Amino acid sequence: MYLITIEGGDGSGKGIATKMLEEILNEDFPNFPIWITSEPRRDHPLGQLAVESVRTGDAGPVKEASLFAADRLDHSHAWIVPRLEKGMIVISERNVHSSLVYQGIVGDMGLESIAKLNSAACIPDLCIWVDCDPERALRRITQGTLREATLDKQEYFETDELQTKIRAGYASLLGGDLDMPEPFNKGLVIGPILNEGTKDDLRKKIQKEVRKFIHKQKSPLNISPEVVECLMLEKAMHGERGQKTLDVLEQAPKRSGKDWLNEKLPWEVIQEAYSSHHEAMSSLDSDRKMNVSENPLNRTLLSVVGTLSLLPSANVKTLLKWMGPVRKASERRIYERLKFLHECSGWARSYKPLKGAEATRYELRADWQSFGRLGMVIWPLKEELSNWAKQYPEGDWKNALSEVIGESPNEDMNRKLEFCLARLGVIGSGKANISPPKSISEFCNWWQKGPST
């Protein structure tokens, strides 16, 4: 999902930082698979050409930059993007910022020319800049602690003079004195993280920053958030299967993973949800109403109900885990919606474990699983459907989707409809053994008449 790069001068500790980052992510965010890589790729023909170009420096900055860019472009689209689409976090030791500094600044090619050469490559979502005094870094290199067995020849830039220029280049570019060229100005840069103390000090600094980044749940830069969303929906439906539903007496209607529409039509589900939600809202005083939207398709409310519909039960932390970058919400807002769903609308029930320190868990009642999953399907159209409901408070929900789409949908509407179809492909049609719709006309028919062969 995210491309995280480790940057810094030679001998600054990028390799150590990469290993630490992998350990931190595996410990703190185990739901994200990790894939480690580096540039240039020493096991790929394009990467080997780039490596050879810096052995002596005879290639010159233009040829150097071109070889690194060619390796990076192939690396981005043949290796990195397919892994991002699978929900992985890719950690790359060196990436485009190295070329911007080494050839763009130190090699005097200019930042804009390097950025153009690499413009089709991946944009690092997060760049972690590790810094170290050049003299200390060179000692690490020359003493052999950082040099790989295959690279026993000194590279031309491993001198005091050039390492000082390289460090100054990183400080100017990543420190903000120079403007980061497009499109690489979209990513986040953190640092300098000084690597002049103990390994434990370095690890704590990296851990603090990467936790902050992951918790913000920013939209990924290199793949569509909708690709990630479908992946998160699928993972949520399967990732918590080992959990049990809450120990309550209610048994009917039983929640179902495949028959989630519960013999209802999609438009009937949303019509019932609007009626039930408005009834619950009418019983609240004005102060309480300020914390909950009148609209059941409100982003946060729909995110909570939709995510709960995929899980047997969850606490606030679990919901945050499965929301991803598209459905993200703050802990405070999630808690407010859960409290409303439990105490006012009756859509959810809660359970506080008698032993231990586990937080209160919530379960969506079976009657409202259909609305939660339908909400995940129509999420890309929630604003359009909300506006329709506001404009036609007495309108017929059966015709809402076709009226929102119109006779000649524009490009933006077609894109949102494709997102809805992709979500249906993950969540299912709502009836076992019936395939989900695969076209816009089939989607409209599904909305009005339900799943059909």
pLDDT in tens, 46-89: 999 999 888 767 778 889 999 999 999 999 999 999 999 888 99
pLDDT for 146: 43
Sign of CA dihedral 378, 380, 384, 386: positive
In this structure, of 33-42, 134-143, 326-335, 367-376, the range with the lowest mean pLDDT score is 134-143
Q: Strand 2-7 and strand 89-93: pairing?
A: parallel
Mean per-residue pLDDT, 224-242: 79
For residue 222, pLDDT over 80 is answered with: yes
Give the separation between CA 341 and CA 337, rounded to whole angstroms: 6
What residues contact residue 450 under an 8 Å CB cut-off, 6+ apart?
261, 264, 265, 266, 430, 431
What residue ranges in 265-357 does DSSP mark as E strands?
348-351
Q: For residue range 171-186, what is the model confidence (pLDDT) as tens digits?
A: 999 999 999 999 999 9
Which has more confidence, 15 or 148? 15
Give the separation between CA 223 and CA 96, rounded to whole angstroms: 18
pLDDT for 53: 85
Which has more confidence, 139 or 16? 16
Q: For residue range 13-43, what is the model confidence (pLDDT) as tens digits?
A: 899 999 999 999 999 888 788 999 999 999 9
Mean per-residue pLDDT, 332-349: 92
What is the DSSP code (8-state) at residue 102?
Answer: I
For residue 325, pLDDT over 90 is answered with: no
For residue 250, pLDDT over 50 is answered with: no
pLDDT for 137: 61
Give the separation between CA 101 and CA 187, rounded to whole angstroms: 16
For residue 155, pLDDT over 70 is answered with: no
For residue 91, pLDDT over 50 is answered with: yes
For residue 142, pLDDT over 80 is answered with: no
Q: For residue range 261-296, what is the model confidence (pLDDT) as tens digits?
A: 999 999 999 999 999 999 999 888 777 777 778 899
Mean per-residue pLDDT, 296-325: 90
Assess whether the previous peptide bond of 40 is cis (omega < 30° from 0). yes
Type of residue found at 259? D
Mean per-residue pLDDT, 116-133: 95
What is the DSSP code (8-state) at residue 144?
Answer: T
Mean per-residue pLDDT, 115-124: 97
Give the separation between CA 297 and CA 292, rounded to whole angstroms: 11
Copy the structure tokens of residue 398.
Answer: 């059966």
Task: Kindly report, as residue ranges, where domains of CATH 3.40.50.300 are found in the chain.
Answer: 2-223
pLDDT for 251: 42
Q: Mean pLDDT highest for which of 3-12, 160-169, 213-222, 375-384?
A: 375-384
CA separation (Å) from 201 to 20, 193, 194, 198, 395? 11, 10, 9, 5, 62
In this structure, of 91-95, 119-123, 144-148, 289-293, the range with the lowest mean pLDDT score is 144-148
In this structure, of 143-147, 214-218, 264-268, 306-310, the range with the lowest mean pLDDT score is 143-147
pLDDT for 249: 40
pLDDT for 79: 95
Q: For residue range 234-247, what is the model confidence (pLDDT) as tens digits?
A: 888 886 554 444 55
Report residue 78 CA to chain centroid gap. Answer: 20
pLDDT for 412: 94
For residue 133, pLDDT over 50 is answered with: yes
pLDDT for 116: 97
In this structure, CATH architecture of domain 2-223: 3-Layer(aba) Sandwich (3.40)
Predicted confidence band at 326 (pLDDT cuts at 50, 70, 90)? Answer: confident
Mean per-residue pLDDT, 228-235: 87
Q: For residue range 401-442, what is the model confidence (pLDDT) as tens digits?
A: 999 999 889 999 999 999 999 999 999 999 999 999 999 999
Predicted confidence band at 159 (pLDDT cuts at 50, 70, 90)? Answer: low
* Nearest alpha-carbon partner for 38 in 17, 15, 61: 15
The helices-and-strands tally (H runs, E runs) of the chain is 20, 7
Predicted confidence band at 192 (pLDDT cuts at 50, 70, 90)? Answer: very high
**Phi and psi at residue 190, in whole multiples of 5°?**
-120, 145
Give the separation between CA 423 and CA 380, rounded to whole angstroms: 10
What is the DSSP code (8-state) at residue 46?
Answer: H
- Neighbouring C-beta atoms of residue 88, cutoff 10 Å: 17
Predicted confidence band at 136 (pLDDT cuts at 50, 70, 90)? Answer: low
What mean pLDDT, rounded, does the chain reach? 87
For residue 369, pLDDT over 90 is answered with: yes
